[in-house]
Structure 1
Amino acid sequence: MRAVFMGTPDFAVPVLEALCEGPAVEVVAVYTPPDRPRGRGQEIESPPVKVAATSLDLPVFQPASLRSSDIQEELSALQSDVIVVAAYGKLLPPKVLEMPPFGCLNIHPSLLPKYRGPSPVVATILDGLCETGVTLMLLDEGMDTGPLLAQARMALTGTETAETLTQELFKVGGELLLATLGQWTSGLLEASPQDHSQATVTSKLARSDGMVDWMLAASILERMQRAYTPWPGLYTEWEGKSLRLLEVTLPNSLGAEVSCPSAGPGEVVDIGFDEATLGIGTADGILGIRTLQLEGRRATSAAEFLRGYPQFLGSVLS
């Protein structure tokens, strides 16, 4: 079986590796976006999938779009039996969807039809779910609306960040692909239409999503910090500068009876525990702060931050 893989970030690499391990599967090409300048130095950086494909001696194609007739002819000439997509970041045009006889298979990090769209992992954490999963589906012209081939479920501990959970889900997705692909191409598996009445759709993240509203409950802010790691992060402002809250906790989760002082929304207090010396009042409870970073400074523990900025205690953050 001839397969084309399309993907971009580091968490898509395990899916490519799983595809390469598939019995009787030949990965004839890898598609990923063009190299781009990154960071302050604007050095040209290759997508992680390109780096992985190169190490596997696979041909790499990097078109800016799949919509031009020349690019589509080039893809068609590969005569792939199936196209596997994992976080490619681009919608596939109808002509591309129709090319492979076994369709374009996509790995989506949620239990569809729940959490369609660009940020399913973030939404899963924000909603405080106890379980999530990954879906292998057939792509159609809609956004995550195609028929389902297989799903794998995963219990959540309540400590996951969007970064760690995304990595784990795509790892599981690669295993699901490996277990399912042969059944699909052998005709032993039928695709099942989604129940569109049960669908929910996520939205694209913006930096402003990470700005703290201290009128929210501490439990909600704790989930936001995990959901918005690594981007946009959870942040507030102090003395005209951005202050990122890199590690937070709920005091009653520290494994001991915690007697926190009372604090109004946004009020900074000392909660007296090494794990989270600082606490900030919310509309419901106190949010413990373990690690934070002031704009233009390195990340520090809460205790170290207080040694440098003792006036932070007693502040009321807007």
Structure 2
Amino acid sequence: MKVVFIGTSEFGVPALDALVASPEHTVVGVVTQPDRPVGRQQKMTPSPIKEAAFKHHLKIFQPEQIKRDSVIKQIAYLRPDVIVVAAYGQILPKVILDLPQYGCLNLHASILPKFRGASPIQSAILAREKKSGVTVMWMNEGLDTGDVLLVGETPIKADDTAQTLHDRLALIGAKSLLTSLALIKKGKATRTSQSDLGVAASYAKKLTKEDGRIDWTKGKRDIDAHIRAMTPWPSAYTWVPDNMAGGTDQKMLKIFTTIFSHRAKGKPGEVVRVDKHGVLVSTGGTGGLLLREVQLEGKKRMHAAEFARGFNLAVGTILG
């Protein structure tokens, strides 16, 4: 099949690589977002999909808006049999959806209709779901509302972060895409309405930096899930009084790994023990979390015990 691939983030790279490697398909063009300024230096940086497409010597398009007539004409000129979309970041207009003979497929990183929208991976971990997956969906004009063609599933592990689950789902998405295209070619692809799946639809909003803030009144398992869901971005964080400044200033402390504890007794967010094993913090409900790997603003990532020594963190300090 002749394929136009539309995507931006790292999630779609294994799928694009798989299409290029497949003798059954030819990627005739790749559409991705324009280069964007990244980091403190605001260096113009290509998307992961652009980098992958460049490596494969593919034709690349980077429109600011895919709905422009000139872009639609360019895609139409390529005469794709199918369009594949993976984490692109813009809504495709109906005129593009209607272009290819076999329609448009979307790779979405959840088991639809749960967690439609922008942050399905983080939302599944936050909700403490037992499994996640990639849905290959026939695209329509709605937001992740199209009929389901195929679902590839994976358990969510106890130590999964958004990054580790993302990486696993990206590989599952690549395999599921090739299977889906084979079914289409054989005339065996099915369409299942999401409303027939017996699961309530939910939406996963786009995350902001503020979403990373830890609510210590929640139970330890919910906070642990929050920390893992926010890793690597926007990062889970709390505010810690700067004892060096007399406790009048607050500094941001990012938290990356923890261990459950049943022994912590104190107010939510209270530091109840500091030793070589880390920093033990009480949470809502029973017990707490032993902080293991943290990063104080302006400092490197380090063991919590090392941070506590350098920061003069005292037992009784309330994190918030």
Scaled by the length of structure 2, the TM-score of the pair is: 0.92
Output one character per residue of 1:238-265: Cα deviation in whole Å (capped at 9) or x when no partner: 121111112222136xxxxxxx342221
Distance 1:271 1:139, change over 3 A: same
Matched, 1:269 2:279: no
- Alpha-carbon offset, residue 271 of structure 1: 6.2
In 2, Cα distance between equivalents of 1:91 and 1:181: 22
**Is the CA contact 1:131–1:154 (under 8 Å) kept in the aligned structure 2?**
yes
Output one character per residue of 1:64-87: Cα deviation in whole Å (capped at 9) or x when no partner: 111111111111101001001111
Supply the AA of the counterpart residue of 1:243. Answer: L
Distance 1:7 1:312, change over 3 A: farther
Output one character per residue of 1:2-44: Cα deviation in whole Å (capped at 9) or x when no partner: 1000111122110101111233211000111011111111111
Distance 1:34 1:171, change over 3 A: same
In 2, Cα distance between equivalents of 1:167 and 1:85: 17
Aligned residue number for residue 302 of structure 1? 304
Correspondence 1:177-188 to 2 at 5 A: 177-188=177-188
Matched, 1:192 2:202: no
In 2, Cα distance between equivalents of 1:132 and 1:300: 31
Supply the AA of the counterpart residue of 1:263. Answer: G
Supply the AA of the counterpart residue of 2:142. Answer: G
In 2, Cα distance between equivalents of 1:235 and 1:136: 34
Output one character per residue of 1:124-174: Cα deviation in whole Å (capped at 9) or x when no partner: 101111112111111100011101111112122221111111111111010
Aligned residue number for residue 137 of structure 1? 137
In 2, Cα distance between equivalents of 1:267 and 1:41: 37
Supply the AA of the counterpart residue of 1:81. Answer: D
In 1, Cα distance between equivalents of 2:190 and 2:126: 33
Distance 1:278 1:308, change over 3 A: same
Supply the AA of the counterpart residue of 2:207. Answer: L
In 1, Cα distance between equivalents of 2:146 and 2:200: 14
Supply the AA of the counterpart residue of 1:76. Answer: A
Correspondence 1:1-318 to 2 at 5 A: 1-195=1-195, 198-239=200-241, 240-251=250-261, 260-270=263-273, 272=275, 274=277, 277-284=278-285, 285-318=287-320
In 2, Cα distance between equivalents of 1:35 and 1:203: 24
In 2, Cα distance between equivalents of 1:170 and 1:44: 25
In 2, Cα distance between equivalents of 1:281 and 1:248: 12
**Is the CA contact 2:264–2:280 (under 8 Å) kept in the aligned structure 1?**
no
In 1, Cα distance between equivalents of 2:269 and 2:140: 47
In 1, Cα distance between equivalents of 2:270 and 2:70: 60
**Is the CA contact 1:110–1:133 (under 8 Å) kept in the aligned structure 2?**
yes
Mark the runs of 5 or more structure 1 residues left unpaired by the alignment.
Answer: 253-259
- Alpha-carbon offset, residue 273 of structure 1: 6.2
In 1, Cα distance between equivalents of 2:170 and 2:100: 23
Scaled by the length of structure 1, the TM-score of the pair is: 0.93
Supply the AA of the counterpart residue of 2:257. Answer: E
- Equivalent residues, number: 309
SS class of match (2:290): strand
Aligned residue number for residue 255 of structure 1? none
